[in-house]
Chains A and B, each alone.
Chain A
Amino acid sequence: MIQVENLSFFQNGKKILEDISLKVEKGDFLAIIGPNGGGKTTLIKCLLGFIKPQKGKIYLWGKELSNFKDWHLIGYVPQRAGKDLNPMFPLTLREFLHLPALLYKKNLDENYLKELLEIFGLTELLERRITSFSFGQLQRAYIARALVLKPEVLILDEPSVGLDFISQKNFYEILSNFHQKGLTIILVTHETWLLTKEVNKVACLNQRLYFHGAHEDFCIFSEKDLAGFYFHKIEHTHW
Chain B
Amino acid sequence: MMELLLYLDLFRWGLLAGICFAISTALTSPFLILQRNSLFPHAITHILLLPLILLSLVKSFFPSLLHFPFLLITTLFLSYLIHFFSKFLNIFEDTSTSMITYLSLGLALLLASKTSQFDLTLLNYLFGSFVTIDKKDFLESFFVLLFSLSFFYYFKNLWLAKSFEEELPGIEFKTSQGLFLLLITLQSIVGVKLMGVLLVSSFFVFSSTVALKLSSSFSLVIPLTMFLNFLSLLFGFVISIYFDIPFSSATVISMGVYLLLLFIVRK
Among candidates A50, A94, A102, residue contacting B167 with C-beta atoms closer than 8 Å: A50
Contacts of B33 on A, CB cut-off 8 Å?
86, 88
Q: Does A69 contact B (CB under 8 A)?
A: yes
A residues near B216, Cβ cutoff 8 Å: 90, 92, 127, 129
Q: State whether the Cβ of A121 lies closer than 8 Å to any Cβ in chain B.
A: no
- Please tell me if A82 contacts chain B, counting CB pairs below 8 Å: yes
Q: Does A71 contact B (CB under 8 A)?
A: yes
The digit string for B137-170, where 1 denotes a CB below 8 A from any CB of A, is: 0000000000000000000011011011111111
CB of B264 within 8 Å of the partner chain: no
Cross-chain contact of A88 among B161, B165, B213, B217 (Cβ < 8 A): B213
Task: Flag if B218 contacts A103 (CB, 8 Å).
Answer: no
Whether the Cβ atoms of B157 and A89 lie closer than 8 Å is no
A229-B8 Cα distance, complex, nearest whole Å: 78
A183 → chain B, closest Cβ, in Å?
A: 16
Q: State the Cβ distance, B210 to closest chain A Cβ, in Å.
A: 10
Q: B215 an interface residue at 8 Å Cβ cutoff? A: yes
Bound-state Cα–Cα, A162 to B240, Å: 54
| A104 and B170 within 8 A (CB) | yes
Say if the beta carbon of B198 comes within 8 Å of chain A: no
Are B158 and A103 within 8 A (Cβ)?
Answer: yes
Nearest chain B CB to A60's CB is how many angstroms away?
10
Chain B interface category by residue count: 20 to 34
Q: Is A95 an interface residue (CB 8 A)?
A: yes
How many inter-chain contacts with C-beta < 8 Å in the A-B complex? Answer: 73
Tell whether A227 is near chain B: CB-to-CB under 8 Å: no
Q: Nearest chain-A residue to B220 (Cβ)?
A: A90
Q: Which of B17-37 contact A (CB under 8 A)?
A: 33-34, 36
State whether the Cβ of A211 lies closer than 8 Å to any Cβ in chain B. no
Chain A proximity of B226: nearest CB distance (Å): 16
Instruction: Out of A71, A82, A88, A90, name the residue touching B169 (CB < 8 Å).
Output: A71
Name the residue among B36, B213, B217 with the largest chain A CB count within 10 angstroms. Answer: B217
Question: Quick check: is B265 within 8 A (CB to CB) of the other chain?
Answer: no
Kindly state the separation between the CA atoms of A84 and B212 in the bound complex, as whole angstroms: 17
Separation of A78 and B167 alpha carbons in the complex (Å): 8
B-side contacts of A48, CB under 8 Å = 167, 169-170
Interface residues of B in 190-235 (CB under 8 A from A): 209, 212-213, 215-221
B66 contacts chain A at the CB level, 8 A cutoff: no
Distance (whole angstroms) from the CB of A154 to the closest CB of chain B: 11
Instruction: Please name all residues of chain A whose beta carbon is closer than 8 Å to the beta carbon of B157 when the two chains form the complex.
Output: 99, 102-103
Is there contact, CB below 8 Å, between B212 and A89?
yes
Contacting residues of chain A (78-112) with chain B, CB-CB under 8 angstroms: 78, 82, 84-86, 88-92, 94-95, 99, 102-104
Interface residues of A (CB under 8 A from B): 45, 48-50, 68-69, 71-72, 74, 76, 78, 82, 84-86, 88-92, 94-95, 99, 102-104, 127, 129
Instruction: Give 6 CB contacts A-B under 8 Å.
Output: A50-B169, A90-B221, A91-B160, A91-B217, A92-B217, A103-B171
Known: A50-B167, A95-B218. 17 other contacts (CB 8 A): A45-B167, A71-B171, A74-B169, A78-B166, A86-B34, A86-B36, A90-B212, A90-B213, A90-B221, A91-B164, A92-B216, A95-B219, A99-B160, A103-B161, A103-B171, A127-B217, A129-B216
What 8 A-B pairs have minimum CB-CB distances, sorted nearest first? A71-B170, A48-B169, A90-B215, A102-B157, A92-B217, A71-B169, A88-B212, A50-B167
